[in-house]
Amino acid sequence: MKENSNAQLRNEVLQWICPIDSAERQRTLLNMRHEGAGKWFLESEQFLLWIASEEKTLFCTGVPGAGKTVLTSIAIDHLEKRFASDESVAITYL
C-alpha cells in the first residue's frame, strides 16, 4: 500500500514539474512519420560514432521547424529497439 502511495506521489510531482507526457508525445511523433524518414540520420557518421563512443550527449542544432523533434523521436525509437535486451543501457528522454 505504501509503495502504491509513493508511486502516486511520484506521478503527481512529475506532472507538476512537467505536464507533458513524453512517452505519449514520442508515440504521436512516431505515428506521424513517413516510412524511411530519418534513415539518413541513423546512418550518418556522427550518429554512428556517437553510438560507438562513451560520449553521453549528442547535440543537434537547427532552426525552428527543421525537424529536430522528429529526428529525436526516430533516434529514440532506434535506440530502444537496438538496446532492448541490453540491461546495461538506459535510455531516457524528455
pLDDT at position 39, please?
93
pLDDT at 16: 85
pTM: 0.68
Return the pLDDT at 78.
93
Please work out, in degrees rounded to the nearest 5, the angle formed at the alpha carbon of residue 74 by the alpha carbons of 13 and 65: 85
Predicted local confidence at residue 48, as pLDDT: 94
Residues of the chain with pLDDT under 70: 1-4, 94
Give the pLDDT of residue 85: 94
pLDDT confidence of residue 83: 92
